[in-house]
Amino acid sequence: MNRTMYTLSLVAGVFLPTSFVTGLLGMNVHGIPGIDRSNGFLVVCTLLAVVVVIEVWLFRRLRWL
């Protein structure tokens, strides 16, 4: 059972970044706040990167990583 869970985790780890990129590039840009600005998409990407940094910091603090 542990080997199966390990294999499943590896597969999820491989496909998670690809699903994030396709979700980011496939989002409806006209629905995001700040679309009237020329850098609205950049702001959304920056906010997503900040969320990732906070999550990694939290996971390391909780010793999950």
Q: How far apart are CA 64 and CA 38, in angstroms?
A: 38
Three-class DSSP category at 62: coil
Span 21-53, pLDDT tens digits: 788 777 776 766 667 788 877 887 888 888 888
Q: How far apart are CA 13 and CA 11, in angstroms?
A: 5
Q: What is the pLDDT of residue 65?
A: 66
Span 52-64, pLDDT tens digits: 888 888 878 988 7
Q: State the pTM of this model.
A: 0.59
Task: Tell which residue, 24, 20, 18, has the closest CA to residue 42.
Answer: 24
